[in-house]
Amino acid sequence: MSFHHTPSMPYSLVIFDLDGTLADSFPWFTRNVNDVADRYRFRRVAEGDVEALRHASTREILDHLAVPRWKLPLIARHMRKLKTAQAASIPLFDGVAPMLTRLAAAGVRLALVSSDTEANAREKLGASAALFADFDCSASVFGKAKKFRRVLRRARVEAAHAIAIGDETRDIEAARAAGIACGAVTWGYAAAKALKDRKPDLVFERMEQIAEMVLALSPRSHSPQQHSAVITRGEG
């Protein structure tokens, strides 16, 4: 199998997460989570628990809420249905469209891997959905690594030239399991410290930084790890 990449940049493929990364769904989640907890008989989220849970890993959150692993697919399907019914209440973050447009205009291939459905993702993205070359959706809680590998194969891009960008600790874990770089945004579900403690390759504090940092890197400048260290020291 042959692969291709753009020689002038280390990342010719950017794989985005949706909820908490491009779509501002955390307020929607907090409004609905306790109804879902009652339906599927796991622990409700008290208002005072939210910040502590944002500093926890996905597995720690599931353990705290006493969610049996066998219920995860049932809960995920129910949450997708809720999102479909309430899609209008989940906006994109400010700056998503120009950021995606800038990356696509520079020749970066865009993909989306999400736990939501492709239909919901396309509706949320609106006109920006046309900028994506690939959608691999309805991911299980810990199933993103497999989907990252499938996106890589379809794109015919080497793992070294791909980065996955998300807002949860499991996004970092999945990227590493798939052998690709990971970028973390600090405006989503997980707290910035929880993400930085796991030392992602890039950390984004503002939406516009995604295009700025991805396009600024070149094989002749910083490595992704070096660049992340510079950015984090400068802003953290």
Spell out the per-residue pLDDT of the chain, length 236, in tens: 334 444 445 899 999 999 999 999 999 999 999 999 999 999 999 988 999 999 999 999 999 999 999 999 999 999 999 999 998 889 999 999 999 999 999 999 999 999 999 999 999 999 999 999 999 999 888 899 999 999 999 999 999 999 999 999 999 999 999 999 999 999 999 999 999 999 999 999 999 999 999 998 743 333 444 344 334 433 33
Predicted pLDDT of residue 4: 40
72 plus 144 within the same structural domain? no
128 plus 56 within the same structural domain? no
How far is residue 175 CA from its own chain's centroid? 10
179 plus 228 within the same structural domain? yes
Residue 2 lies in a domain: no
Predicted pLDDT of residue 9: 55
Any idea how long the chain is? 236
Cα 99 from Cα 65, distance rounded (Å): 35
Cα 116 from Cα 76, distance rounded (Å): 8
124 plus 227 within the same structural domain? yes
Do the beta carbons of residue 181 and residue 201 sit within 8 Å?
yes
Integer CA distances (angstroms), 116 to 18, 25, 99, in order: 8, 11, 21
CA atoms within 13 A on the CB side of 229: 4
Predicted pLDDT of residue 217: 72
Structure tokens at 8: 């002038």
Predicted pLDDT of residue 8: 45
Predicted pLDDT of residue 230: 37
Residue where a domain stops, chosen among 58, 89, 120: 89
> Which among 112, 177, 183 has a CA at the least distance from the CA of 145?
177
178 plus 96 within the same structural domain? yes
Structure tokens at 36: 């879902």
> Which among 117, 92, 45 has a CA at the least distance from the CA of 188?
92
Predicted pLDDT of residue 10: 85
Predicted pLDDT of residue 140: 87
59 plus 95 within the same structural domain? no
164 plus 175 within the same structural domain? yes
136 plus 214 within the same structural domain? yes
Predicted pLDDT of residue 232: 40
The 10 Å Cβ neighbour count of residue 49 is 15
Integer CA distances (angstroms), 198 to 114, 189, 232, in order: 21, 15, 13
Residue where a domain stops, chosen among 37, 54, 89: 89
Domain count, the chain: 2
Residue 158 lies in a domain: yes
Residue where a domain stops, chosen among 66, 89, 112: 89
How far is residue 65 CA from its own chain's centroid? 22
Predicted pLDDT of residue 228: 40
> Which among 58, 101, 59 has a CA at the least distance from the CA of 208?
101
Q: What domain range is 63 assigned to?
A: 26-89
Integer CA distances (angstroms), 161 to 17, 47, 104, 144, in order: 17, 41, 15, 18
